[in-house]
Amino acid sequence: MNSNFKAHLALLIANIIYGLNYTVAKDVMPDYILPFGFIFCRVIGALSLFWIIHSFNYEKVEKKDMLLMAVCGFFGVFANQLMFFYGLNLTTPINAGIIMTSNPILVIIASAIILKNRITVLKVAGIFLGISGALLLLLVKKDFSFGSDTLLGDLFIFLNALSYGIYLVLAVPLMKKYKPLTVIKWVFTFGAIFVIPFGFQQFTEIEWNSFPTDIWLKFSFVVIATTFFAYLLNIYGLKKLSPSVVSTYIYLQPLLAALVAIWAGKDSLDWIKIAAAILIFSGVYMVSKKVKI
């Protein structure tokens, strides 16, 4: 199987998981777990899995690269997750989905500043098509509400998009040098160091015996699927593809959510969804296409 195809497949699966996470995480938080306590569980749980698996395929990291690993841990794990969960607790899933469409734009800007990558017309056009398709799906639902009630949460979701964008760009040099599992293990190790002081108190307040079966399943989904598998799949994609391509896959999340709803009989296929799908896939293709110089 072509390595680029496998990278695109990994990103597709990761974004299916992320698309489901908006609603799943909201059901657990804040009634059963407060935001920072949830982050603590998520990071420590996934970190344990990364260390166990990496022990079977160990790769040494040079000391000079540890600082960059730590910076990636700050932006990619600590700031990213803290701001997402705190923001989601104060806003709505659809508001979060709309704001997160800014992520690919932020990645292209960060790539130009940090990696000196050229901002091509093709990439800008692809981003525009992708964001148009995503917003077409999100705005037609008519249950979004930007206002004073959600302002703080919306701001934190935007900061989450910014921090994740910076992480994707900063991780590129590490991905050229090390295996994906090695990078993500150390990124989460440093991320956990930042998370523990903020999340430990709320972690101790969790009443585990109050969890019904469905909350246990949703809690497990967030820790294992959204954190462990999705981060690993994303970092694998980043090894083969550019940060702008990885980030553009976020536009698939509202489309995938719509397809799941159609499959479950809760929604129907119409011209809006078809048009959105064409725009999104065209956008991803244009951002993925390499320009010959």
Is residue 35 predicted with pLDDT exceeding 80? Answer: yes
195 with 77: CB under 8 angstroms? Answer: yes
**Residue 9 tokens, joined:** 């497949």
Determine the average pLDDT of the residues in 34-47. 92
Q: When comparing pLDDT for 204 and 129, which is higher?
A: 204
66 with 183: CB under 8 angstroms? Answer: no
Is residue 293 predicted with pLDDT exceeding 50? Answer: no
> DSSP label at 39?
H
∠ CA(23), CA(234), CA(1), 5° rounding? 120
Is residue 292 predicted with pLDDT exceeding 60? Answer: no
pTM above 0.85, yes or no: no
Q: 172 Cβ partners below 8 Å, 6+ apart?
A: 115, 238, 242, 243
Helices and strands, number each (H, E), in the chain: 15, 0
Q: 26 Cβ partners below 8 Å, 6+ apart?
A: 88, 93
> From residue 89, how far is each of 14, 179, 217 by CA, in Å?
22, 34, 20
Q: What mean pLDDT value characterizes the chain?
A: 85
- pLDDT level of residue 133 (50, 70, 90 thresholds): confident
Q: 178 Cβ partners below 8 Å, 6+ apart?
A: 59, 61, 65
Determine the average pLDDT of the residues in 260-287. 77
Q: How many CA atoms lie within 13 A of 84 on its CB side?
A: 28
- pLDDT level of residue 190 (50, 70, 90 thresholds): very high
**Domain residue spans of the chain:** 3-288
Closest Cα partner for 186 from 73, 74, 77? 73
Amino acid symbol at 81: Q
